[in-house]
Amino acid sequence: MCEAIVFVVKDGEKEVIMENVVTLHPEGEKILLTDLFGEQRLITAKIERVDLIGHEIILRKKD
């Protein structure tokens, strides 16, 4: 499968914010995450790194 786990970096630590993510869609200053089951989450962050082999997306919260 091609789902990813989305993490946000907070105080130097990675925190899981959503699993089984299949799409990321920019919404102005925010990113809309959608998972395999259609659940959505809107987060104010920027993309720091995408690891397709490791199925990880790392976001950093905007200050």
Q: Are 5 and 15 in contact (CB under 8 A)?
A: no
Q: How many CB atoms lie within 10 A of CB 34?
A: 16
16-35: pLDDT as tens digits: 999 999 999 999 999 999 99
Q: Are 57 and 50 in contact (CB under 8 A)?
A: yes
Domains in the chain: how many in total?
1
How would DSSP label each residue in 20-62?
A: EEEEEEEETTEEEEEETTS-EEEEEEEEEEEETTTTEEEEEE-
Region for residue 28 given its phi and psi (left: phi exceeds 0; alpha: psi -120 to 50; beta: otherwise): left
**Confidence class for position 10, pLDDT limits 50, 70, 90:** confident
- Residue 47: which domain range? 4-61
